[in-house]
Amino acid sequence: MHVLDLDIFSRDDIYKILEYSGKFKKNRYSHEKFLKDKSFVIIFEKPSTRTRISFDLAVYESGGHLITLNKGEFHLGKEDYKDTAKVLSRYVDGIIARVFSHTSLERLAKYSDVPVINALSDLAHPCQILADLLTIKEKKGKFKGLKLAYLGDGNNVCNSLILGCALVGIDCYIATPRGYEPNSKHILKALNIIEKYGDGSLTLTNNPKEALEEADILYTDVWVSMGEKEKDENLFKPYQLNKEALELAKDDCIVMHCLPAIRGKEITDDVIDSENSVVYQQAENRLHAQKGLLKFIYDD
């Protein structure tokens, strides 16, 4: 099973992954070593803090071994993807990759005989959203009936977020500047998932107030992702998560950011450091959610 994005999963699959994740969080150092005698390679074309540490610990604490390859230490894209995938498949039980281009993951997955897991690409960030769903469940105790407001750039996190919300029945409002909406194929996939399960919704708007009003969850990400060209910040200023934005949402709303944050740009200090903020819980949950995902792939 390759995990390039969340649309490969059913609702029951997501619930099972989150159930595993919750159990691993409660029993971090005493759960079963379900990856015993399994080895993985994790490839980094982009630098990382949370992804690198959380995957390393997720594999180690589950009994497996992880080999880390940083940029300049591998031949991905320099040699044929088929050759890389076929050779790695004979060494390891899984390939985890954080890449610039989603096409690189698709090429690896096409030829790999072992699972390929997307640890971030320019198109999607499924592992982050699994951690986000775990955080929402912990803080709100449910998914259905919740309103999530995402403000900013319709980027890779946003693309996977709309799939994750659709899969669990959250009403998802995406507020972006005109021309910065989420990927059109992801929008269509999310709408098809919503139709399949008969709950949840997806609303795209250029009006941040429409998204923010009575929201249960506020979410943002950097306006310029790593490797992207600079964007006109004036277009994005109305989409900043600040005190005024927080006042439009419900009093008990939670504030989310996948980190790293550019404080003072997409989110202000008084919001990211507020009592509503759960950004560090999100970051911690990357570890537990990735264990849940690995358990689902390798031990189910």
Mean pLDDT, consecutive 10-residue stretches, the chain (300 aa), reads: 97 98 96 97 92 97 96 79 95 97 96 98 98 98 98 97 98 97 98 98 98 98 75 91 98 98 97 98 98 93
Q: Any idea what the Cα angle at residue 279 is, between residues 276 and 101, rounded to 5°?
A: 140
End-to-end CA distance of the chain: 12
**Encoded amino acid at 175, one letter:** A
Question: The domain at 128-282 falls in which architecture?
Answer: 3-Layer(aba) Sandwich (3.40)
- 64: region left, alpha or beta (phi > 0 left; psi from -120 to 50 alpha): beta
128-282 matches 6-125+286-298 in CATH topology: yes
- What's the pLDDT at 300? 66
The continuous run of DSSP H or E covering 284 comes out as helix 279-298
User: Contact, 156 vs 125, CB < 8 A?
Assistant: yes
In the CATH scheme, what architecture does the domain 6-125+286-298 have? 3-Layer(aba) Sandwich (3.40)
Helix (H, G, I), strand (E, B) or coil at 259: coil
The reported pLDDT for the residue numbered 114 is 98
User: Residue 224's pLDDT is what?
Assistant: 81
E-state strands within the chain: 39-44, 65-70, 94-98, 116-120, 147-151, 171-175, 201-205, 217-220, 254-257
What residues are labeled active site? 98, 125, 128, 221, 258, 286
Residue spans per domain, the chain: 6-125+286-298, 128-282
Interior/surface letters 58-67, b for 16+ CB within 10 angstroms, e for the rest: bbebbebebe
pLDDT number for residue 227: 57
pTM for this entry: 0.96
Torsion, Cα of 46, 157, 258, 56 (10° steps)? -50
Which pLDDT score, from 0 to 100, does residue 47 have? 87
Residues for the chain: how many in total? 300
Instruction: Give yes or no for a contact between 194 and 201, defined as CB atoms under 8 angstroms apart.
Output: yes
In whole angstroms, how far apart are CA 282 and each of 30, 73, 157, 176, 185?
22, 30, 13, 23, 27
